[in-house]
Structure 1
Amino acid sequence: MPTEVILPKVDMDMATGQISRWFYKDGDTIKKGEPLFEIETDKAAMEVDAPASGTLRNVTGAQGVDIAVGSPVAWIYAEGEAVNAPAPTADAGKPTTVGPDPDGAKPCCAKEAGERRGVRATPLARRIARQYGIDLSSVTGHGPMGRIGREDVEAAQQAAARARPAEAPVRTEPPAPAPGLARQPAPQPAPAKPRLVVNGETPLHVVTLREGEGTPLVLLHGFGSESASWRPLLAEFTGPNPVLGLDLAGHGGSVGRVADGFDALVSGVEETLRALGLASCHLVGHSLGGAVASAVAAGLAIDVRSLLLLAPAGFGPDIDTAFAEGFARAREEAPIRSWLRHLVSDPAAISDGFVRATARGRADGVQSEAQTQLVSRLFSNGAQHFDVRGLLTDLAMPVKIVAGAEDRVVPIRHFTGLPGRVALHVFPRTGHMPQIEQRADVARLLRELTR
Structure 2
Amino acid sequence: MPVEVILPKVDMDMESGQISRWYAKDGDAVTKGQVLFEIETDKAAMEVDAPSSGILRNVTAAEGTTVPVGQAVAWIFAEDEAHTAATPASRAEAPALVTQKPTSVPGPADAQLPAVATSAERDAGIRATPLARRVAKEAGIDLASVSGSGPKGRIQKKDVESGVRNDAVAKPAVHVRPTAVEPEAALHASWLREGKNSELAPLVLIHGFGSDLNSWRPMLGGGALDNPILAIDLPGHGASTHNIPDDLHTIASLVEQTIAAYHSGPIILVAHSFGGAVATEMAARSHLDIRALILIAPAGLGPEINSAFISGFVRARTEPSLVAWMKQLVQDESILTKPFIEATLAQSRNVALREAQQLVADRFFADGTQVIDVRQSLGSLSIPVRVIFGAADRVIPATHAAGLPGEIAVHLFAATGHMPQLEQREKIMRILGEVSRSVA
When structure 1 is superposed on structure 2, of 315-324 and 358-367 the one drifting more is 358-367
User: For the residues of structure 1 that align with 2:338 and 2:201, how far apart are their CA atoms?
Assistant: 36
**Structure 2 gap segments, 5+ residues each:** 8-25, 37-52, 58-70, 94-101, 110-124, 126-146, 150-177
Aligned match of 2:73: 64
User: For the residues of structure 1 that align with 2:351 and 2:6, how far apart are their CA atoms?
Assistant: 30
1:211 maps to 2:194: yes
1:397 maps to 2:383: yes
Aligned match of 1:291: 277
Contact 2:394–2:418 (CA<8 Å) still a contact in 1? yes
Q: Alpha carbon RMSD of aligned pairs, Å?
A: 3.8
Change (3 A) 1:39 1:422: closer
Aligned match of 1:430: 416
**Structure 1 gap segments, 5+ residues each:** 1-5, 8-15, 21-34, 51-61, 76-91, 99-108, 117-132, 134-166, 170-194
Deviations 1:389-444 (A, max 9, x none): 11122211111111001000011111111111101111111000000000000000
Amino acid at match of 1:302: L
Amino acid at match of 1:113: P
Equivalences for residues 41-56 of structure 1 within 5 A:
41-43=32-34, 48=55
Deviations 1:102-141 (A, max 9, x none): xxxxxxx997239x9xxxxxxxxxxxxxxxx8xxxxxxxx
Contact 2:55–2:76 (CA<8 Å) still a contact in 1? no
| Residue 47 (structure 1) shift | 6.3
Contact 2:244–2:359 (CA<8 Å) still a contact in 1? no
What TM-score, normalized by structure 1, do the two folds share?
0.61
1:231 maps to 2:217: yes
| Residue 291 (structure 1) shift | 1.1
| Residue 244 (structure 1) shift | 0.4
When structure 1 is superposed on structure 2, of 425-434 and 319-328 the one drifting more is 319-328
Change (3 A) 1:258 1:381: closer
Q: Which runs of 4+ in 1 moved over 6 A?
A: 44-47, 65-72, 95-98
Aligned match of 1:113: 106
Equivalences for residues 254-273 of structure 1 within 5 A:
254-273=240-259
Change (3 A) 1:442 1:436: same
Change (3 A) 1:317 1:256: closer
Change (3 A) 1:441 1:376: same
User: For the residues of structure 2 that align with 1:298 and 1:231, how far apart are their CA atoms?
Assistant: 27
SS of corresponding position for 2:412: strand
SS of corresponding position for 2:192: strand
Deviations 1:60-102 (A, max 9, x none): xx96367797996648xxxxxxxxxxxxxxxx99x9899xxxx
SS of corresponding position for 2:105: helix
What TM-score, normalized by structure 2, do the two folds share?
0.62
Change (3 A) 1:225 1:96: farther
Change (3 A) 1:65 1:325: same
Change (3 A) 1:40 1:383: closer
Aligned match of 2:397: 411
Aligned match of 2:49: none
| Residue 281 (structure 1) shift | 0.6
1:244 maps to 2:222: no
Contact 1:218–1:243 (CA<8 Å) still a contact in 2? yes
1:305 maps to 2:302: no
Amino acid at match of 2:257: E
Change (3 A) 1:303 1:320: same
Aligned match of 1:385: 371
Contact 1:255–1:370 (CA<8 Å) still a contact in 2? no
Amino acid at match of 2:106: A
| Residue 251 (structure 1) shift | 0.6
| Residue 254 (structure 1) shift | 0.6
1:328 maps to 2:337: no
Change (3 A) 1:270 1:49: closer
